Amino acid sequence: MNKLIRIGTRKSKLALWQAEHIAELLEEGGLKTEIVKIETTGDKILDVSIAKIGSKGVFTEEIEEQLQNGTIDIAVHSAKDMQSELPEGFELIAFTERETPNDVIISHNKDLDLNNTAQPIKLGTSSNRRIATLKRYFPHVETAAVRGNLQRRIQKMEEGQCDALLLAYAGVHRMEYDNMIVDKLPLNVFTPAVGQGSVAVEVHKNLPEEKREIVRRLTNHKPTEHCLLAERSFLKTLQGGCSVPVFALADNDSENIHISGGIISLDGSEEIRIQKSAPLHEAEKAGRELALEILERGGDRILSEIKKELGKK
């Protein structure tokens, strides 16, 4: 077997950190690696929202093309960027150990306080989930649409487009901007996007089975995999794309999976949030049943209204 693993990734510093992390795991297992940088639609178009570009595959389509034609062997992504249903022939075979999943606020202003309603704050974010959550719990906060890699977003903040940025802790920490964190947001309010904090390894069915199993064995973190199987099952059942403000976070012990998830309207006026536990081997079933219960409790109506509203934008 050819022991060289060609790793496809986006070009941003954070994406390269993720690819290099997978490369380290593979090389520790005796494999040689090569990183192949690929520009995606989501990287090229930065002046409009993800919803306007089209939420399916904006950060993965070009990479998957190279997976399919064999230019690369595996692709490395932020797990939260992955569609709930992959194109035919593609599969996620591994998830790295999850980093702290919280959202955080970063700023040069250490006195910034989200709970101070008398303090005018403009937060930079392009996430509908985060914007809707702010509207519900912190309606005094103004938002500004800020996209691009982390370094570009910080530059926009420093140019005065916003006072602070609302981001995932994982990316901030991996890029070593911890000193800029002014608030780590509670998970019971800012429940993250599905997969937030983990790195996913994607392959195409054309990859030889032996190579696939070796990659999986060297890179997969089993407890995280259980969590993401539950979360992705939840997202798939809800049919929520990257632009729909749905959220889920799973945890597990040696015997059970525990998942909390929900949906919030774009204006923040309605939120449905449910928790569910199940035996560990029923992780995907737990995510699916959680989504069905949310839909039955009115989530189907909220979801329909969200998609209608996003279609107008």
**Is the C-alpha dihedral spanning 280, 28, 198, 284 positive or negative?**
negative
R_g of the chain, CA atoms, integer Å: 19
CA angle 233, 97, 102 (to 5 degrees): 75
**Strand ranges (E), the chain:** 4-9, 32-37, 74-78, 90-95, 103-106, 122-124, 142-144, 164-168, 181-184, 199-204, 246-252, 256-264, 271-279
What's the rounded Cα separation, in Å, for the pair 20 and 120? 40
8 Å CB contact between 196 and 79: yes
300: left (phi over 0), alpha (psi -120 to 50) or beta: alpha
Tokens linked to 198:
């983990």
- The DSSP output letter for 59 is T
73 is catalytic: no
Q: Which of 81, 113, 253, 267 does the annotation list as catalytic?
A: 81
Catalytically active residues, by annotation: 81
